[in-house]
């Protein structure tokens, strides 16, 4: 028996039977080779990124978002200058959003740090808190979108009430600044322009005809678009983290 190589495959010649057989690997061997090749690199999550780089970017954005959002919540929680002038229902809703936002911010920071630890020390199970955060975000944004679509009239009335109060509050602040500038003989052109713009906003909200024909529909479109963008971003983040956790589990990095 002797062997010979050609350009296509290796052949074995049997001297007794003048026969030849191709050395072709079995289907099981090919599948194992393909699986090993797939595990060499992390799966793609974008045109030029793999899931590992994407997970690092997601963790960094998540920690930055949680940190700055927590600072904003702390800043608003410390403001009690106009506490007596705020309507009770708006005050309770505002306080609840501050506390809930602070809790979400802390969770985002902790889960982002765990994501960094999981990527650096090959512990895929530590990606679960961040995945849960984005699953919860997807559910929340979809639920809010459904509420806006189904109960838009009631939502619009509450939104109109809040925007009216907010515009009045800003106008009072600008009017006080204009009085101070006049007392000190300072240039108040910018404050006058800002006050004029806010009065136009207030007219678009308080005038029934303008509200029903233009402002109400515009706000519904704007809020729906924002929720759909947030849902898309959270879905991509969640898919990237799940893909990388699955890849790490296949490599026994769990």
Q: What digits encode the pLDDT tens for the residues 215-239?
A: 889 999 999 999 999 999 999 999 9
The listed range with the strongest mean pLDDT (3-7, 86-90, 167-171) is: 167-171
Q: How far apart are CA 189 and CA 40, in angstroms?
A: 64
pTM over 0.75: no
Q: Is the pLDDT of residue 178 over 90?
A: no
pLDDT at residue 32, as a whole number: 56
| Residue 67 vs residue 28, higher pLDDT | 67
Domain boundaries, the chain: 46-250
Q: How far apart are CA 48 and CA 54, in angstroms?
A: 10
Q: Is the pLDDT of residue 205 over 50?
A: yes
Q: How far apart are CA 119 and CA 185, in angstroms?
A: 60
Mean pLDDT in residue range 148-164: 90
pLDDT at residue 61, as a whole number: 95
For residue 108, count other CB atoms closer than 10 A to its CB: 23
Three-state DSSP state, 44 = strand
Are 123 and 253 in contact by the 8 Å Cβ rule? The answer is yes
Q: What is the mean pLDDT of the chain?
A: 81
Which pLDDT band, with edges at 50, 70 and 90, does 131 fall under? very high
Which pLDDT band, with edges at 50, 70 and 90, does 80 fall under? low
Mean pLDDT in residue range 125-144: 95
Give the largest CA-CA distance in the chain. 116
Mean pLDDT in residue range 64-72: 93
Q: Is the pLDDT of residue 190 over 60?
A: yes
Q: How far apart are CA 196 and CA 53, in angstroms?
A: 48
pLDDT at residue 12, as a whole number: 44
| Residue 88 vs residue 143, higher pLDDT | 143
């Amino acid at each position: 028996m002797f062997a010979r190589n050609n350009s296509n495959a290796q052949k074995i010649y049997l001297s007794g039977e003048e026969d030849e057989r191709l050395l072709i690997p079995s289907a099981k061997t090919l599948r194992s080779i393909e699986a090993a090749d797939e595990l060499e690199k992390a799966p793609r999550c974008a045109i030029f990124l793999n899931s590992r780089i994407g997970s690092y970017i997601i963790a960094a954005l998540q920690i930055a978002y949680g940190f700055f959002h927590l600072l904003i919540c702390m800043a608003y929680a410390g403001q009690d200058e106009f506490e007596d002038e705020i309507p009770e229902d708006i005050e309770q809703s505002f306080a609840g959003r501050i506390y809930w936002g602070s809790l979400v911010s802390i969770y985002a920071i902790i889960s982002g740090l765990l994501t960094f630890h999981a990527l650096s020390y090959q512990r895929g199970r530590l990606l679960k808190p961040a995945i849960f955060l984005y699953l919860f975000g997807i559910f929340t944004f979809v639920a809010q979108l459904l509420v806006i679509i189904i109960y838009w009239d009631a939502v619009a009335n509450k939104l109109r009430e809040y925007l009216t109060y907010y515009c009045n509050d800003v106008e009072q602040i600008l009017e006080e600044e204009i009085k101070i500038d006049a007392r000190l003989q300072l240039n108040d052109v910018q404050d006058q322009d800002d006050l004029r713009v806010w009065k136009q906003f207030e007219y678009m909200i308080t005038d029934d005809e303008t509200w029903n024909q233009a402002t109400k529909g515009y706000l519904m479109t704007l809020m729906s678009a924002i929720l759909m963008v947030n849902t898309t971003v959270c879905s991509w983040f969640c898919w990237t983290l799940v893909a990388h956790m699955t890849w790490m589990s296949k490599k026994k990095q769990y």
